[in-house]
Amino acid sequence: MKKFTLLISSVLLLSSCSYIPFIGSKEKPKEEENPEITYKKAEAALMKKDYKEAQQLFKKVLEQSPESRIVENTRLNLAESYFSSGNYEEAIAIYEDYLKMYPLSPNSDYVMYKLGLCYYNLMKPPDRDQTYTIKAIETFKKLTDNYPLSPWIQEAKKKLKECEERLAENDIYVGKFYLKTDQYQSAEIRFKRAIDKANSRNVKAEATYLLCKTYEKKKDKKEAIECYESLIKAYPGWEYVDVAEKELAELKGEKKEGIVESIKKKIKEDLLGIYK
């Protein structure tokens, strides 16, 4: 019995000793502790559209090796993962940091384009705050000014026009409020700005018509007549040009034949939405 107990004790002692590393030995680092391997895993997760996993792994690379040669690509891919997952505000912060840290990077034009897209995707409707629209315009303009040969220029210019159109629509929305509340000077400023910013003929025509109505409300008959004449000449195919012609005829004391009163009612309801 004593021999059996001694044997068990010996086995337990040997087993416990097997977990004690030799003095001076060097343990092999775990695979996930290698930043380059972690980076490859993060790239694979990004390709699979597993954005949450990719973000965690890219962040781990930055923590493991902040001075590594792969850090620049890691930051860019981290921003891309946020962009692709629709988290534009997080992407904005990283894209902006990237441009500050690597101003001479060959990816700078691409990063600036993606930064502009983040702001573009965060734009609000015309009746809401337009801070993101303004930031998108500033970013796209900076891209076109600083990188005229960039392959992203054409897309940036297209988005820039859409942003300017959004601001024009916002000016029309605010201008209608001013017109409704008899703040004619403020309304005039807004409608003129909308005309300058708008790219589509319909938006320009609408802003011009509302400017004409503003002059009319101000009792500035001369300006109103000139405005309507300009509108009719510039936008003969506009949906509500007949209404403008009727308004002009009434201002001149003439009678416009063939214009149904329901058209005027329609524009008041559908286009202006401001009359009682």
Query: pLDDT for 139-183, tens place per residue?
Result: 999 999 999 999 999 999 999 999 999 999 999 999 999 999 999
Q: For position 20, what pLDDT does the model report? A: 41
Q: Which residue has the higher pLDDT, 257 or 271?
A: 271
Q: For position 64, what pLDDT does the model report? A: 86
Lowest mean pLDDT among 60-69, 184-193, 261-270: 261-270
Alpha-helical regions (H) of the chain: 2-17, 35-47, 51-64, 71-84, 88-101, 108-121, 131-146, 153-180, 184-197, 201-217, 221-234, 241-251, 261-267
Distances (CA, A) of 62 to 58, 72, 151, 172: 7, 10, 30, 47
Whether 206 shows a pLDDT value over 70: the answer reads yes
Q: For position 265, what pLDDT does the model report? A: 56
What's the whole-number average pLDDT of the chain? 86
Q: SS3 for 25?
A: coil
Whether 102 shows a pLDDT value over 90: the answer reads yes
Q: In this predicted model, what pLDDT tens digit does every residue of 103-143 receive, in sequence order?
A: 999 999 999 999 999 999 999 999 999 999 999 999 999 99
Q: For position 159, what pLDDT does the model report? A: 98
Distance CA 209, CA 201 (A): 12
Percent of the chain with pLDDT over 70: 80
Residue 149's contacts (CB-CB under 8 Å, 6 or more residues apart) are none
Residue 199: count of CB within 10 angstroms of its CB: 12
Q: For position 34, what pLDDT does the model report? A: 84
Q: For position 258, what pLDDT does the model report? A: 45
Q: How confident is the model at residue 268 (pLDDT cuts 50, 70, 90)?
A: low
Residue located via tokens 């409704």: 180
Q: For position 15, what pLDDT does the model report? A: 42
Residue 108's contacts (CB-CB under 8 Å, 6 or more residues apart) are 99, 102, 147
Average pLDDT on 12-37 reads 52
Q: For position 263, what pLDDT does the model report? A: 52
Q: Which amino acid is at 131?
A: T
Q: For position 273, what pLDDT does the model report? A: 60
Q: For position 264, what pLDDT does the model report? A: 57
Percent of the chain with pLDDT over 90: 75
Longest dimension (CA), the chain: 128
